[in-house]
């Protein structure tokens, strides 16, 4: 299967006046295959959203990519001049964020916002772009789309606003949709429908999705492959079902145990002990060792490399073969 996005050894640092820069991402790597969904999961502060902003080229001020590569459809994005980067955003790479209100203009009807994206991408007339906007709103499940196209964002429910954002994304005919916690702010019943919509779009259009979430249930329902992040690094990667059923990293195993019903085997639910480390004061050796039930002396001094532990499965644990 062709690879659309390859992130390799990505390092993002934050400048700190008078002090060493802080490594926010430390050697992050993964691939997104064409027409597939890769999930990136981890606790808050693991670096998953920073990874998404690095791919988009919209890192907050003071943060920069200091090494590594981000190759999208054969083009290296690190170091690409900003006008070319901007040209990709909203077109080849579309974004769907947690809060649809932040992506929508509050003083413009949603149909107009969708049609503006279509006009920029396709060079359509205003009337043709308006018709396409209604079609797209219909496709993403906005009821009565011709009427609702005239609605302002505040007149819609959270779920309909997120559908409007997805219609805007589709209007750019993207090859990659980058969705960062797209359902976190929505009711549980709406969450499943939005994830179902993203899966339908992926299947029908062959679009790739990079889905960022803290929620393993989202990974279980909506991804084919998963990268698990912890303290700025990827600690495990693999096919979703295999990874959830038989984790090969103690952190993934703890995440799985903390959420009911994501693995086919039943097991008691248990919270993950402790908290993620402060990136400014990381523990030596394996970053997970203060919380790891399998930690031994070696783990406190020697950082484990991400290595292939089974075909298609990578783990950054010295004892990956012993995790259950
Ligand atoms: Fe746990 Fe050691 Fe593996 Fe780190 S390397 S996850 S501390 S067993």
Of the residues 173, 200, 221, the one at which a domain ends: 173
Whether 145 is in a domain gets the answer yes
Q: Within this chain, do residues 262 and 280 fall inside the same structural domain, yes or no?
A: yes
On whether residue 88 sits in a domain, the answer given is yes
Amino acid 265: pLDDT: 58
Q: Do 73 and 67 form a contact (C-beta atoms < 8 A)?
A: no
> Where does a domain end: 173, 193, 211?
173
CA 284 to ligand 1 centroid distance, Å: 12
Same domain, 186 and 226: yes
> Based on the structure, what is the number of domains in the chain?
2
Same domain, 83 and 208: yes
- How many CA atoms are closer than 13 Å to the CA of 270, on its beta-carbon side? 11
DSSP 276: P
Q: Is 120 part of any domain?
A: yes
101 belongs to a structural domain: no
CA 6 to centroid of ligand 1, rounded, Å: 27
Backbone phi and psi for residue 240, each to the nearest 5 degrees, phi listed first? -55, -50
In the reported structure, the alpha carbon of residue 251 is separated from the centroid of ligand 1 by a whole-number distance in angstroms of 8
pLDDT single digits (tens) 204-233 = 999 999 999 999 999 999 999 999 999 999
User: Within this chain, do residues 57 and 158 fall inside the same structural domain, yes or no?
Assistant: no
Domain assignment of residue 97, yes or no: no
- Domain carrying residue 226: 3-92+176-322
* pLDDT tier at 264, thresholds 50, 70, 90: low
97, 161 Cβ separation under 8 angstroms: no
Select from 252, 277, 292, 307 the residue to mutate for testing ligand 1; criterion: most ligand atoms less than 8 Å from CB.
Answer: 292
Q: Which atom of ligand 1 lies nearest, measured to the CA of 292? A: 1
Ligand 1 within 6 A of CB of 317: yes
Q: Indicate which residue's Cα is closest to atom 6 of ligand 1.
A: 317
Please give the full DSSP string across 23-81, using - where no structure is assigned: EEEEEEEEEEETT-EEEEE-STTSSHHHHHHHHHT-PPTTEEEEEEEEEETTEE-TT--
| Domain C-terminal end among 173, 200, 229 | 173
Interface ipTM > 0.90: yes
pLDDT digits (tens, 9 = 90+) for 173-204: 999 999 999 988 888 888 888 999 999 999 89
Q: Three-state DSSP class for 89?
A: strand
**Ligand 1 atom 7: residue of nearest CA:** 289
pTM of the model: 0.93
Tell me, yes or no, whether 23 and 78 share the same domain.
Answer: yes
pLDDT for position 261: 67
Residue 119, CA atoms < 13 Å, CB-side half-sphere: 13
Most ligand 1 atoms within 8 A of CB, residue of 315, 319, 321 to mutate: 319
Is residue 38 in some structural domain?
A: yes
Q: Which two tokens stand for residue 27?
A: 């050697």
For the segment 72-112, what is each residue's pLDDT rounded down to a tens digit? 999 999 999 999 999 998 789 999 988 888 889 999 999 99
């Amino acid at each position: 299967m062709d690879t659309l996005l390859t992130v390799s050894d990505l390092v993002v640092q934050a400048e700190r006046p008078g002090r060493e820069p802080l490594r926010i991402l430390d050697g992050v790597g993964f691939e997104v295959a064409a027409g597939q969904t890769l999930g990136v999961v981890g606790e808050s502060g693991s670096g998953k959203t920073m990874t998404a902003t690095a791919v988009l080229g919209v890192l907050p001020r003071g943060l920069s990519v200091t090494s590594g590569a981000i190759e999208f459809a054969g083009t290296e994005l690190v170091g690409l001049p900003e006008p070319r980067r901007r040209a990709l955003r909203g077109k080849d790479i579309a974004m769907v964020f947690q809060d649809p209100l932040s992506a929508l203009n509050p003083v413009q009807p949603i149909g107009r916002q969708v049609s503006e994206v279509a006009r920029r991408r396709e060079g359509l007339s205003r009337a043709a772009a308006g018709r396409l906007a209604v079609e797209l709103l219909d496709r993403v499940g906005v009821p009565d789309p011709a009427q609702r196209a005239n609605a302002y964002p505040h007149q819609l429910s959270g779920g309909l606003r997120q559908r409007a954002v997805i219609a805007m994304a589709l209007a750019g005919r993207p090859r990659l949709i980058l969705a960062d916690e797209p359902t976190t702010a929505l009711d549980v019943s709406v969450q499943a429908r939005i994830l179902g919509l993203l899966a339908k779009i992926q299947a029908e259009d062959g679009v790739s999705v990079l889905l960022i979430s803290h929620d393993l249930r989202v990974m279980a329902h909506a991804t084919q492959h998963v990268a698990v992040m912890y303290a700025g690094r990827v600690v495990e990667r693999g096919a979703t079902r295999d990874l959830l059923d038989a984790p090969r990293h103690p952190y993934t195993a703890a995440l799985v145990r903390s959420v009911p019903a994501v693995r086919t085997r039943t097991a008691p639910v248990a919270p993950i002990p402790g908290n993620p480390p402060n990136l400014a004061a990381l523990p030596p050796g394996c970053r997970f060792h203060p919380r790891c039930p399998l930690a031994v002396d070696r783990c406190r001094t020697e950082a484990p490399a991400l290595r292939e532990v089974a075909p298609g499965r990578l783990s950054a644990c010295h004892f990956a073969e012993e995790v259950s």
